[in-house]
Structure 1
Amino acid sequence: MEQRHLGRTGLRVSRMGLGTMTWGRDTDEHDAADQMKAYLDAGGNFVDTADVYADGEAEYMIGRLLDGYIPRSEVVIATKAASVPYSERRFDGSRGHLLQALDHSLARLGTDHVDLWQLHAYDPSTPLEETLHALDLAVTSGRARYVGVSNFSGWQLAKAATWQSAAPGRVVVASTQVEYSLLQRGIEREVLPAALDLGVGLLPWSPLGRGVLTGKYRHAMPADSRGASAHMGPFVAPYLDDHSRRIVDALATAADGLGAAPIEVALAWVRDRPGVVAPIVGARNAGQLRASLAAESVTLPTEIRNALEDVSQPMTGYPDDSWSQA
């Protein structure tokens, strides 16, 4: 698998990441081990998790796999902090919470450092400079090698990255993890231009449109799918409308013409978008993961890429396009 630099840093990661949001919830330890083996065998090295995935169980699973099974040096481990799901305060970006969360993550992962530590979301109730200072402390203490953000809007990303580059000794924001797919191109309005200008690498989550771009929902709702489950149904539902259906139909047509699967075409499209470092691919089992990893060998012809971009074009307006034409 090819590798790319993470933003303007020396860290190189495989151009497709392994997501672990389902680990410990829908994916048991046996399936997690099979996924990790399939991913490493394909040449992958970038494993993404978070302290809140399955209440920390995803990190525990990764830690057990690293304990005598996978050499630590062969895997780039990324995790996140700031989410507090069982509190009225959904996100806590205070220095105290973040550094404590990092220590807990390291204990669960069974390692003395993570390669990439990310803010899971922006906390409007904490001064941003305090939040960012926690990132500096994580790196200077050796507990993290690089830092990034996740789910930041365009102005939030620009403010954070600019602050970090404004004074010597601050750690640069290497990456931003955001939802990005043929069904969700909203980041192209402000987040993507900011990331390109500031040299921040994009890590798309849900690059398969929450599973809808696999084509599994084209004709019916599979009983064993995310869309049919009680805890994931509301997550999938926004992408089951008529607009999404037209995009999925176009994707299926393109895939048929290329002799490929829709999942491969969808991942190849987002993987090769400007600024993208590595889409984060999640799966419930190794079979699903291998279907995603097959996208590594797919390169889309220009005419197919243009057709998909036309049918999925996001809505724009002032100031995205009208101001420049005034």
Structure 2
Amino acid sequence: MQRRRVGSSGLEVSRIGLGTLTWGADTDLEAATAQLTAFVDAGGSLVETADGYGDGLAQETLGAVLAASVPREYLVIAGRATLPGGPLGDSAARGALLTGLDATLKRLGTDHLDLWQLPAWDATVPLDETLSAVQVAVLSGKARYAGLVAPRGWQLATVAERGRALGAITVPVSAQVEYSLLARDVEAELVPAAVHHGVGLLAWAPLGRGVLTGKYADGTPADSRGASATLAPYVEARRNERSARIVQAVLTAADGLGTSPLAVALAWVRDLPGVASAVVGARDAAQLAASMATESVTLPAEIRAALDDVSTPG
């Protein structure tokens, strides 16, 4: 699998990343082990996790896989802070952030994150205090790089400029955002800001939360996320008339290219300007293999243009 630099930093990641949203819940330890082993064997490196996935269960599961099956040094682990409440607060305050980071490292059974992703903005805490947590984490070796989660364009620009003033280690190298044919609102402000400031994009939910695979075109499969009590609202948010038109265009493109709708949707996101990696989730190793198989797929210019046109935000 090809690797890319994250923005203008020296950090390299596989251009397809593996998400762990369902690990420890819908994805048990055996299935998670099979996924991560197949991912690494195919040349994948970026693994995304968060302390809010299953209230820490996803990270505990990833830690168990690392301890038993996959060497830690093979991975670039991106850990996302979701700021759970506690004695030190639930904000982007230095104490809360660093306490959360220590808990994440303990669950993972590792001494560092390759990429520590912070909430983009907290108006209740001085930005310099939040960035000081990054300084502490990097200088202590607990984080190698820092990024942001779902910032707006002006927020990313503000953090990048203030980070440069405080020192290079506090400058964000990445922004993890939802980005797909069904979710292109980030192109208005965030994408131009990221490209300008040398911040790489980690495209989350590049398959439109599964809708772009076409699996929901005729209903809700019993084994899909849309049938899960916990994930159904997550999927339903992307099922509407506009989405149906875009899905039909993806199905038509896939038929013309002799490939899968998944490959078309994923390749569209993966090769956008500024995108360092497209992060996919999977129910099992077979489903993950379908995403990994897109490595050889490149969309012709005319098909990309047609998909751009049908999915342009209103």
TM-score (norm 2): 0.96
Please state how far the C-alpha of 1:98 moved relative to its aligned partner: 0.4
**Corresponding residue for 2:70?**
70
Residue 220 of structure 2 corresponds to which residue in structure 1?
221
Q: Distance in 1 between matches of 2:17 and 2:167?
A: 31
Instruction: Name 2:45's counterpart in structure 1.
Output: 45
Structure 2 SS opposite 1:18: strand
Post-superposition shift, 1:235? 1.2
Whether 1:180 and 2:179 are equivalent positions in the alignment is: yes
Question: Would the aligned equivalents of 1:20 and 1:49 in 2 still touch at CA under 8 Å?
Answer: yes
Q: Matches of 1:181 and 1:33 in 2, distance apart? A: 27
1:82 and 1:98 in contact (8 A); partners too: no
Aligned to 2:139: 140
1:239 corresponds in structure 2 to 238
SS of 2:50's partner is coil
- Distance (whole Å) between structure 2 residues aligned to residue 4 and residue 20 of structure 1: 21
Change (3 A) 1:225 1:82: closer
3-state secondary structure, aligned to 1:278: strand
- Any runs of at least 4 consecutive aligned residues in structure 1 with deviations exceeding 6 A, and if so which? none
Give the 3-state SS of the residue equivalent to 1:279 in structure 2.
strand
User: 1:260/1:294 Cα in 2 relative to 1: closer, same or farther (>3 Å)?
Assistant: same
The residue number in structure 2 matching 1:286 is: 285
Residues 175 and 201, structure 2, Cα contact 8 Å, conserved in 1? yes
Q: Secondary structure at the match of 1:203?
A: strand
Contact 2:7-2:195 within 8 A present in 1 as well: no
Distance 1:104 1:53 in 2: 14
Contact kept in structure 2, 1:161 and 1:173, CA below 8 Å: yes
Q: Secondary structure at the match of 2:248?
A: helix
Partners of 2:277 and 2:151 in 1: CA distance: 17
The AA in structure 1 aligned to 2:298 is T
Structure 1 match to 2:11: 11
In the other structure, the counterpart of 2:266 is: 267
SS at structure 1 position matched to 2:182: coil
1:258 aligns with 2:257: yes
Letter in 2 for 1:54: G
1:54 matched to 2:43:
no
Structure 1 residue 43 displacement after superposition: 0.6
- Give the letter aligned to residue 155 of structure 1: W
1:122 is displaced (CA, Å) by 2.6
Q: Secondary structure at the match of 2:27?
A: coil
Count of matched residue positions in the alignment of Structure 1 and Structure 2? 313
Deviation, structure 1 residue 60 = 1.3
Deviation at 1:50, TM superposition (A): 0.7
The CA distance in 1 between the partners of 2:141 and 2:220, in whole Å, is 47
Report the AA paired with residue 75 of structure 2: V
State the shift of 1:170 in Å.
4.1
Give the CA deviation at 1:85.
7.3
* Per-residue deviation, 1:282: 0.5
Q: What is the match of residue 322 of structure 1? A: none
Cα offset, 1:81, TM superposition: 1.2
Shift of 1:86: 9.5
The sequence identity of aligned pairs, in percent, is 56
Partners of 2:71 and 2:55 lie apart in 1 by 25
State the SS of the aligned residue for 1:230: coil
The code of the aligned residue for 1:14 comes to: S
Structure 2 segments unaligned to the other structure (5+ residues): none
| Aligned residue number for residue 80 of structure 2 | 80
Counterpart residue type for residue 244 of structure 2:
R
Distance 1:169 1:236 in 2: 39
Distance 2:37 2:126 in 1: 42
Distance 2:5 2:131 in 1: 22
Q: Which runs of 5+ in 1 are unaligned?
A: 316-326
User: Residue 204 of structure 1 corresponds to which residue in structure 2?
Assistant: 203
Q: Displacement of 1:82 after TM fit?
A: 3.6
Quick check: 1:82–1:97 contact (8 Å CA) kept in 2? no
